């Protein structure tokens, strides 16, 4: 096998899969699965840096800041995906967590790989979002060197924003313009350079952890229940009722009636129940306690 010491890990050949095209279907599936098992271990080695990144995000969000993901190709799509899941899951405004992808919205459904080659476009995307000192920008690039992402991060740093970078290539760390670099090293891909595989999985795990932990710290979760969810479909409406039933021990019928009085707001409904107040007062109490349900209902209920 030819070695490429200067190549990022994400572009190197994986010796285990050099003859994968000669293997049986089951052997291929087994090999891919065995390689995928390396991903959680690689992410686990980055726990301290991920925690540092969460603390940065939470501090700035509490000051009124926003979180932006910036990437190209698979990495960019994963950033947009994670951002789009935050409003229904945690009841936040769509502007709080946003994804920026090289090539714009068309790149979400069609490969526009050339869009990643221009750092000035990344910088312009940051300017269009009016990123400022309260915000955090997370660069996403499996190889660590994507010009569009570097351009965005450099502009964000000049504007005083917090900067984080997620890459699977340890060779690129020294050139990355970010305060915190999260580097889960998953090794070469089964199909050389196909970073939608292990690198994509690692990136998805990191992003899930960043936003989920941040939202827990911001009071969007009570126990392990998503009490700030937005019930925008039947599944989530049913989940809302189940959460109220679980926390209050009310019957399903009474939980539904309580939610109607709370205009579908789970957290407010729980404050109304435990503090015996109307919706207006429940919302005031939540504002007073920085949206912490645990603080809002005090000792009335403990999970």
Give yes or no: 281 in active site.
Answer: no
- Token readout for 61 is 């969000």
DSSP lists the bridge partners of residue 70 as 100, 139
Give yes or no: 116 in active site.
Answer: yes
**Residue recorded with tokens 């009570």:** 222
- Among the listed residues 35, 46, 116, 189, the single catalytic one is 116
Contacts 24+ apart (CB under 8 A), 122-125: 122/70, 122/147, 122/148, 122/149, 122/150, 122/151, 122/152, 122/153, 122/155, 123/151, 123/152, 123/154, 123/155, 125/70, 125/100, 125/152
- Among the listed residues 11, 85, 124, 281, the single catalytic one is 85
| Alpha-carbon gap, residue 296 to 285, rounded angstroms | 6
Catalytic residues, by residue number, are 85, 116
């Amino acid at each position: 096998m030819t070695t490429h010491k200067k190549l990022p890990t994400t572009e190197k050949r994986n010796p285990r899969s050099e003859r994968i095209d000669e293997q049986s279907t089951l052997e291929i599936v087994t090999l891919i699965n065995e390689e995928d098992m390396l991903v959680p271990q690689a992410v686990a080695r980055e726990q301290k840096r991920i925690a540092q990144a969460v603390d940065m995000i939470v501090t700035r969000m509490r000051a009124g800041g926003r979180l932006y993901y910036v990437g190209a190709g698979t990495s960019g799509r994963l950033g947009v995906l994670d951002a789009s899941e935050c409003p229904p899951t945690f009841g936040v405004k769509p502007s709080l967590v946003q994804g920026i992808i090289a090539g714009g919205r068309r790149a979400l459904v069609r490969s526009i790989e050339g869009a990643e080659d221009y750092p000035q476009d990344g910088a312009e995307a940051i300017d269009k979002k009016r990123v400022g000192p309260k915000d955090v920008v997370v660069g996403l690039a499996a190889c660590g060197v994507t010009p569009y992402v570097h351009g965005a991060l450099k502009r964000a740093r000049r504007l005083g924003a917090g900067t984080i970078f997620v890459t699977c290539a340890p060779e690129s760390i020294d050139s990355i313009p970010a305060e915190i670099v999260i580097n889960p090293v998953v090794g070469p891909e089964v199909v050389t350079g196909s970073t939608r595989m292990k690198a994509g999985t690692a990136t998805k795990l990191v992003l899930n952890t960043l936003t989920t932990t941040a939202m827990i710290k911001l009071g969007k979760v009570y126990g392990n229940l998503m009490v700030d969810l937005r019930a925008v479909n039947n599944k989530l409406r049913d989940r809302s009722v189940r959460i109220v039933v679980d926390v209050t021990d009310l019957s399903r019928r009474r939980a539904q009636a309580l939610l109607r009085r709370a205009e579908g707001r789970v957290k407010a409904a729980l404050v109304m129940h435990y503090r015996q107040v109307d919706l207006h007062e429940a919302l005031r109490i939540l504002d007073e306690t920085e949206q912490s349900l645990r603080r809002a209902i005090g000792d009335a209920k403990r999970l």
